[in-house]
Amino acid sequence: MDEIETKGLSRRLFLGASAAMLAAQYVSVRPAKAADYKFAAALGWTTYDSGRHLQDGFTNAVKDLGGSLTTTDAGFDAKKQSDQIDSLVATKPDALFVTPADAVAIAPAVQRALAAGIPVFAADSMVPGVAVNTTAMSNNFGMGFYTADFIAKQLGGKGRIARVLLPQNESWDQRTLGCEWALRRHPDIKVVTDWAFALAGNVTPRQAVDNILTANPDLDAVWCAWDGAAVEGTLAARAADRPNLILTGIDGGSQAFQYIAGGTQLKLSMAQTFYEMAYLDVLYAHEHLAGRKTPRTVITPTYAVTQEMLANGIPDDFDVPGRGEELGWSRAV
Q: So what's the pLDDT on residue 17? A: 54
- 156 occurs within a structural domain: yes
Residue 84 in domain: yes
pTM (two decimals): 0.91
Average pLDDT over residues 69-78: 97
67 found inside a domain: yes
In this structure, are 96 and 211 located in the same domain?
no
The predicted model gives 133-158 an average pLDDT of: 98
At 77, is the pLDDT very low, low, confident or very high (cuts 50, 70, 90)? very high
Cα 222 to chain centroid, rounded: 20
The per-residue DSSP string of 89-130 comes to HHT--SEEEEE-SSHHHHHHHHHHHHHTT--EEEESS--TT-
Provide, rounded to the nearest whole percent, the portion of the chain with pLDDT above 70. Answer: 90
Tens of pLDDT along 157-200? 999 999 999 998 899 999 999 999 999 999 999 999 999 998 77
14/120 same-domain check? yes
Strand partners, 219: none
Residues 21 and 60 grouped into a single domain: yes
pLDDT band for position 7 (cuts 50, 70, 90): very low
Residues 132 and 279 both lie in one domain? yes
3-class state of residue 149 by DSSP: helix
- Same structural domain for residues 211 and 236? yes
Contact 181, 149 (CB under 8 A): no
204 in any annotated domain: yes
257 located within any domain: yes
Is residue 323 in a domain? no
Q: Which residue has the higher pLDDT, 236 or 11?
A: 236
236 and 225 assigned to the same domain:
yes
Cβ atoms of 282 and 59 within 8 Å: the answer is no
d(CA 284, CA 245): 43
Instruction: Average the pLDDT over 234-253 and give the result.
Output: 98
> Across the chain, what does the average pLDDT equal?
92
Q: Give the model confidence (pLDDT) of 250-307 as tens digits.
A: 999 999 999 999 999 999 999 999 999 999 999 999 999 999 999 999 999 999 999 9
Containing domain of residue 85, as a range?
Answer: 2-137+273-300
- What is the structure's pLDDT at 2? 36
Do residues 285 and 207 both lie within one domain? no
6 pLDDT more than 90:
no
Relative to beta strand 266-272, strand 302-305 is antiparallel
User: pLDDT confidence of 67, banded at 50, 70, 90?
Assistant: very high
Q: Indicate whether 318 belongs to any domain.
A: no
Residues 170 and 124 in one domain: no
Q: Which residue spans within the chain are E strands per DSSP?
A: 38-43, 68-73, 95-99, 120-123, 134-137, 159-165, 189-196, 221-224, 246-251, 266-272, 297-299, 302-305
**Domains of the chain: total:** 2
Residue 178 lies in a domain: yes
Enumerate residues 6+ apart whose C-beta is below 8 A from 128. Answer: 103, 104, 107, 170
Specify the CATH number for the domain of residue 7: 3.40.50.2300
- Model confidence over 120-135: pLDDT tens digits? 999 999 999 999 999 9
Q: Which has the minimum average pLDDT: 4-18, 140-154, 207-221, 248-262?
A: 4-18
- 230 and 183, same structural domain? yes
